[in-house]
Every structure is written in structure tokens, then in C-alpha cells.
Structure 1
Amino acid sequence: MNLNIFKKKTSPKDALRTSKREMAVATRGIEREIASLQMEEKKLVAEIKKTAKTGNEAATKILARQLVRLRQQITNLQGSRAQIRGMTTHTQALYANTSISTGMKGATIAMSAMNKVYI
């Protein structure tokens, strides 16, 4: 447990900014990995076609299994990317709720002060 009593408490705006930055970095990393896997998929498809033309059935089956695994990996990464984007949206919604509640708190204080003046 990290207890740093001298560290300044981060504001919700700063927390949102750092969270968005970290999520964007993670998303870019996943997108880069997906792009490299898709390039590898194209190469693998070409290699499968080449081995199929030569009639090497065993090698073609092995390459086809690799292609299936590669496509599953791409699908999993796309799911992870979607989850990260969902988390980013959720974080932004939470920040919006905190800013609304802060605004309402200020309005409540102002209204109570006005009521004291008129009563």
C-alpha cells in the first residue's frame, strides 16, 4: 500500500487527462499489433497458396492452422481495443458526473445564501 501523505491530491481533471493518455497509448499499441498481424496474415495466405500449388498438403494444413490461430489472435486484440475504448468513454462519463455534482453543489450554496437574504 502506497501512502504518501505529502503528495498533492490530483484533481478529477488531471486524473481524467492521465487516464485518457494511458488509454490512448494502450490503444495505439494494440492497433500497431493488429496491423502487424494483418500484414503477417497476408504473407501467410500467399504462402498457403504457394504450398497448395506445389501440392504439399501437409505443409498447407499446418499453415492453415497457423492462419486460424492468427485470425483468432487478431479478433482477441480487437476485443481488447473495444474494451479499452469503452473504459475511456466510461471514465469521461464519470468525470462529467463529478463536474455536474460540483456545479450543483455551488448552485445549492448560492441558493441557500439568497434564501437567507430574503428571509
Structure 2
Amino acid sequence: MGNIFGKEKPLKEVLRENKRMINKAVRELDRERANLEKEEKKLIADIKKFAKEGQMGSVKIMAKDLVRTRTYITKFIEMRSHLNGAALKLQTVKSHQALAESMSSVAKAMVKVNKAVNVPAINKMMQDFARENEKSELMQEMMGDAMDDVMEGNEEEEEQ
């Protein structure tokens, strides 16, 4: 599915743009919430002022506004939380994409290595190594036995 204006954007670019949009929306929500909190403080001060003056009709109307303002503040907090959840999901998608790309490159490297490896040559090399290693161990054992015999001979001469 191509884009009308040219190539389709890569997943990395789409994820980056969406993350920017979410961050922008979170900032806007935070600004609105801050404005509502200022309005809430102003309403509380006005309610106290009108209550002292005995204007209960105005107090009742402002109290309803205060409840409505607090409800909106709560809704903005919920929306911010949902946006942060969406941002986290985008980050997870981005991580999975990076993992998939890494696995793909590792698989390609393994294919190249497997093509470059000459199994019969390695098998022969391992057999040669095993044979030479066995010879070396045998020579070490013979040298050790010879040294033990020499040492035993020296000990017997010293005892006499």
C-alpha cells in the first residue's frame, strides 16, 4: 500500500512522528489541567468570599462550577495516563522492530559464516588435532615415567 505522494514512510519514522504527537498532546493536557487548577483555586477563593457576604445563591452556582472543574481535572489526568500508555506501546513496538532487525542481520551473518565454513576440512583438522594431542599426552606420560624411574633410582642409591 503506497503513499499517494511517493514512498511509504519507514516504520521508524512513523513511530517517531506518533511519539511526537503524543508528547505534544500530553503537554497540551498538562497546560489545560494547570489552567483548570488555577480556576479551581480562584473558585474556592470566590466561594469563601461570597459565603462570608452571605450570597448563598452565588455560592451554590460556584460550587457546581467547582465540582465540574474538578471532574474535568480528573478527566485530563485520565487522558494523560491513556496517552502515556499509548506512548509506552509505541516504545514497545519500536523495541520489537529493533529486535527483529537485529535478528535479521544476525541470521544473514550466520548464513555467510555457514557458507564460508568447510565442514570436511574442519573435520580433518579436528582429527589431526586429536591424533597429535594423543601423541603429546603419550610423550608426556613416557617422560613422567622416565623421570619417576630416575628419581627412584637416585633414592635407592642414596639409601645405600
Confirm or deny a common fold (TM above 0.5). yes
- The runs of at least 4 consecutive aligned structure 1 residues that moved more than 3 Å come to 2-6
C-alpha distance in 1 between matches for 2:15 and 2:38: 34
Matches within 5 A, 1:1-119: 4-5=3-4, 7-118=6-117, 119=119
- Sequence identity of aligned pairs in percent? 37
CA contact (8 A) 2:33 2:73 kept: yes
Question: SS at 2:109's partner residue?
Answer: helix
The structure-2 alpha-carbon separation of the partners of 1:111 and 1:67, relative to structure 1 and needing over 3 Å to count, comes to same
Number of equivalenced pairs: 118
Q: In structure 1, what is the Cα distance between the partners aligned to 2:4 and 2:23?
A: 30
Q: What one-letter code is carried by the residue in structure 1 that aligns with 2:95? A: A
TM-score (norm 1): 0.90
Taking the aligned partners of 1:37 and 1:102, their CA distance within structure 2 comes to 45
Indicate the structure whose relative CO is greater, using CA pairs within 8 Å and at least 6 residues apart. Answer: 1
Structure 2 residue runs without a partner (length 5+) = 120-160
Q: CA deviation at 1:60?
A: 1.2
CA radius of gyration, larger in: 2
SS of the residue aligned with 2:63? helix
Amino acid at match of 1:83: H
1:40-70 deviation digits (Å, cap 9, x = unpaired): 1111001100111011222212211110110
Cα RMSD after superposing both structures: 1.7
TM value normalised by structure 2: 0.68
Moved more, 66-75 or 105-114: 105-114
Q: Offset at 1:104?
A: 0.2
The whole-number CA distance in structure 2 between the counterparts of 1:18 and 1:25 is 11
CA contact (8 A) 2:50 2:58 kept: yes
Aligned-pair distance for 1:5?
A: 4.9
Please give the secondary structure, in 1, of the residue aligned with 2:26.
Answer: helix
What runs of 5+ residues in structure 1 fail to find an aligned partner?
none
The answer to whether the Cα contact below 8 Å between 2:2 and 2:8 also exists between their aligned partners in 1 is no
- Structure 1 residues 51 and 8, CA, compared in 2 at 3 Å: closer, same or farther? same
